[in-house]
Amino acid sequence: MDERLVQYDEKMGKTMNNLAEEFGSIRAGRANPHVLDKIRVDYYGTPTALQQVANISVPEPRMLLIQPWEPSLVKEIEKAILTSDLGINPTNDGKVIRLIFPELTEERRKELAKEIKKKGENAKVAIRNIRRDANDSFKKLGKNSDVSEDEIKELEDKAQKMTDKYIAEVDKAVESKTKEILTV
């Protein structure tokens, strides 16, 4: 690949990774430890990722079990989950916290499908913006140096092909996640 395209390919790749992370945090009616990725717990005055202060396991398809390294953290973890936008009430027995995921209603599934589509559209916009930045830099390259118009056209074509490839990946990811959400 042309070294002038590498940085834009990396940026588009990062956009895809970001989309995958966002999709991972969408609740699909099944227990997925990644829904807790953004939750921070007050650990001796420092906001700390939940995964760094507790063990998270999936004993049943619709339950997460959170075992804090220190029993004193149970209340802090419970508070962090309650103040998050997860929408699940934790239960604890003093040692572990259980999160039981309710079945999603048809209406909620459709809302989530719309949210997935919106996130996909945002990723496509980001990818197209990266292509625009690439094309702008190629045009500047043509003005400031001895790069021919044909070379610039070729770079723009390659940037377009790269954009098409990532847009297709976004569509596939959106379709896959939507199917996962709508499957009862």
Each residue of 21-43: pLDDT tens digit?
Answer: 888 777 666 677 877 878 888 88
Token pair recorded at residue 80: 């962090």
- pLDDT for the residue 184: 62
Is 90 exceeded by the pLDDT of residue 101? no
The full set of domains in the chain, from first to last, is: 3-24+105-182 (1.10.132.20), 33-100 (3.30.1360.40)
Average pLDDT over residues 135-140: 88
Question: Distance between CA 77 and CA 126 in Å, rounded?
Answer: 35
- pLDDT for the residue 122: 93
Question: Distance between CA 89 and CA 99 in Å, rounded?
Answer: 7
- pLDDT for the residue 166: 93
Show Cβ contacts of residue 74 under 8 Å, excluding neighbours closer than 6 positions.
68, 92, 94, 95, 96, 97
**Residue 67: exposure state from Cβ atoms within 10 A (0-12, 13-18, ≥19):** middle
Is 90 exceeded by the pLDDT of residue 127? yes
> Is the model more confident about 147 or about 138?
138
Nearest to 36 by CA among 96, 4, 77, 92: 77
Average pLDDT over residues 105-113: 84
Q: In the chain, what percentage of residues exceed pLDDT 70? A: 97
Question: Distance between CA 88 and CA 86 in Å, rounded?
Answer: 6
- pLDDT for the residue 168: 94
Average pLDDT over residues 137-153: 82
Each residue of 78-94: pLDDT tens digit?
Answer: 888 888 777 778 888 88
Question: Cβ distance 104 to 28 under 8 Å?
Answer: yes
Average pLDDT over residues 111-130: 92
- pLDDT for the residue 29: 65
Q: How many CB atoms lie within 10 A of CB 54?
A: 22
Decide: pTM greater than 0.85.
Answer: no
Mean pLDDT of the chain: 86
